[in-house]
Amino acid sequence: MTKIDIIQNVYEKLGFSKKDSARIVESVFDIIKESLGRGEKIKISGFGNFVVKEKKSRRGRNPQTGDEISISERKVLTFKSSQVLRKALND
């Protein structure tokens, strides 16, 4: 499912115009991106949690040459689904 598919579903299910549906979906994604950018957790009841975690720098290996390289520290986004979502997927 793409963002366009989500906009289409909002349009069909809620009756907003396509333009309003696109604005709503874009706004939700912008709010989520801004919150994650500030390091905040996103908890969506019945769906799951998005959390930004810090990964420390570490030593790695170039798989082609076998040379050791340094992998810089970075932020990664993790998602953990809720029990409600897991149950819905497995029923």
Q: pLDDT (tens digit, 9 = 90+) per residue, 17-73?
A: 999 999 999 999 999 999 999 999 999 999 999 999 999 999 999 999 989 999 999
pTM of the model: 0.77
Domain residue limits at 59: 39-90
**Residue 31 sits in the same domain as residue 47:** no
Q: Do 56 and 18 have their domain in common? A: no
Provide the 8-state DSSP code for 63: T
pLDDT at 91 over 90: no
Domain count, the chain: 2
| Token duo for residue 87 | 């149950």
> How many angstroms separate the CA atoms of 50 and 29, rounded?
13
- Side chain identity at 28, as an amino acid letter? V
Would the pLDDT of 8 be above 90? yes
> For residue 56, how many other CB atoms are within 10 A of its CB?
8
* C-alpha 13 chain-centroid distance: 23
Whether residue 25 is found in the same domain as residue 44: no
The answer on 86 and 46 residing in a single domain is yes
8 Å CB contact between 55 and 76: yes
